[in-house]
């Protein structure tokens, strides 16, 4: 029978401009998280590179490549499921913001390319256009663990509730979003969006941010978080480098879903959600 509880570790890595240093520290923190009892370890968006359109072409790699080879080894050495945050990926002359997932044998079991690119312009605050250098992915990705099915997306994707609903309909009990919100949208929307997705879908939602670097051109908000199916924050980092641990209690997902059975109360006669993706 599948275990009804497992331990997750959200690794809020301090990302620098030095790729080798980022990989070495990520590897060390993955071991530390496994040593702390985590069954599933997750890294932040852009864990091997500063977050910025000018950096993506310079730091981009093929998959497999240097960064994903490190992830495969770390997953195998530490016998954990590993969600490798994301990296800038180069494929066929295009760049993507890509997350990879490895099982405890070190095998690549999922690859997700950020579907919604972060193109925003908040007057006087922040303008960011990921599409200057990145292309969007076109598929949705879930992966299986012995504990539950997990849905994967990246940062800005959390603003699109349909994606989370589709993952829920596919049977996920946990959604993970490596993400790097900023000093404008972080305080306003980061926790609210996670609690919204968790409550709407009655599942766990985990977000994994880089630690805040006040000197970086893009200052990440930090505050990696786990929210439960009741919409409560059960674990939350500050803004510095740290590992946040929490139990994920799958029986609580079932309990919340049976107490407030919204998924059986949908009015398919007046609205519907359509899953058009191929995977
Ligand atoms: N960085 C992102 O992709 C998203 C973000 O910061 C936001 O939605 O706000």
Q: Which domains does the chain have, with CATH numbers?
A: 5-259 (3.60.110.10)
Q: What is the pLDDT of residue 151?
A: 98
- The answer to whether 46 is a known catalytic residue is no
- In angstroms, the CA 185 to CA 266 distance is 31
Question: From ligand 1's centre to the CA of 119, what distance in Å?
Answer: 9
CA 88, distance to chain mean position in Å, is 14
Residues 6+ apart with CB under 8 A from 35: none
Q: What's the mean pLDDT when you consider all of the chain?
A: 97
Nearest residue (CA) to ligand 1, atom 3: 156
Cα gap 104→81, rounded to integer Å: 5
Q: What pLDDT is attached to residue 3?
A: 78
Other Cβ atoms less than 10 A from the Cβ of 230: the count is: 16
DSSP 178-215: E---BTTHIIIIIHHHHHHHHHHHTSEEEEE-PPP-TT
Could you report the predicted ipTM of this complex, rounded to two decimals?
A: 0.98
Q: Which two tokens stand for residue 202?
A: 């009655």
Mark whether 148 is an active-site residue: no
Catalytic status, residue 89: no
Q: Does any ligand 1 atom lie closer than 6 A to the CB of residue 81?
A: no
Total-model pTM: 0.98
Cα separation, 60 vs 88, whole angstroms: 5
Contact between residue 125 and residue 184 where contact means Cβ atoms under 8 Å apart: yes
Task: Tell the burial category of 270 from Cβ atoms under 10 Å away from its Cβ (0-12, 13-18, 19+).
Answer: exposed
Residue among 7, 19, 45, 191 flagged as catalytic:
45
Q: 159: CA distance to ligand 1 center in Å?
A: 9
Q: Is the pLDDT of residue 278 over 80?
A: no
Q: Is the minimum distance from the CB of 159 to ligand 1 under 6 angstroms? A: yes
Q: Which of 73, 1, 72, 83 is nearest to 38 (CA)?
A: 83
**pLDDT by residue (tens digit) across 7-53?**
999 999 999 999 999 999 999 999 999 999 999 999 999 999 999 99
Q: Is the model's pLDDT at 154 over the cut of 90?
A: yes
Q: How many CB atoms lie within 10 A of CB 139?
A: 11
User: Which residues are registered as beta bridge partners of 111?
Assistant: 100
Radius of gyration of the chain (CA): 18
Model confidence pLDDT, tens digit, residues 155-197: 999 999 999 999 999 999 999 999 999 999 999 999 999 999 9
């Amino acid at each position: 029978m599948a275990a009804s509880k497992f331990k997750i570790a959200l690794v809020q890595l301090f990302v620098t401009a030095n790729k080798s240093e980022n990989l070495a520290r990520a590897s060390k923190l993955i071991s530390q998280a496994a040593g702390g009892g985590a069954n599933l370890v997750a890294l932040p968006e852009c864990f091997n590179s500063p977050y910025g359109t000018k950096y993506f072409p310079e730091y981009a790699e093929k998959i497999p490549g240097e960064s994903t080879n490190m992830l495969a080894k770390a997953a195998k050495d530490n016998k954990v499921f590993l969600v490798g945050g994301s990296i800038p990926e180069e494929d066929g002359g295009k760049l993507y913001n890509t997350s990879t997932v490895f099982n405890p044998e070190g095998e690549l079991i999922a690859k997700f390319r950020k579907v919604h690119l972060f193109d925003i312009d908040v007057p006087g605050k922040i303008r960011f256009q990921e599409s200057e250098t990145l292309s969007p992915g076109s598929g949705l990705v879930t992966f299986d663990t012995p504990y539950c099915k997990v849905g994967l997306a990246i940062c800005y994707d959390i603003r699109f509730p349909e994606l989370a609903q589709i993952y829920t309909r596919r049977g996920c009990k946990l959604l993970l979003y490596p993400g790097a919100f900023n000093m404008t949208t972080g305080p306003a929307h980061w926790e609210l969006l996670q609690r919204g997705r968790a409550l709407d879908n009655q599942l766990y939602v985990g977000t994994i941010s880089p630690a805040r670097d006040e000197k970086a051109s893009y200052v990440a908000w930090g505050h990696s978080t786990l929210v439960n199916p009741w919409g409560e924050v059960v674990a939350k980092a500050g803004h510095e480098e740290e590992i946040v641990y929490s139990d994920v209690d799958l029986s609580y997902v079932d309990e919340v879903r049976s107490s407030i059975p919204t998924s059986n109360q949908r009015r398919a006669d007046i609205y519907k959600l359509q899953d058009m993706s191929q995977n």
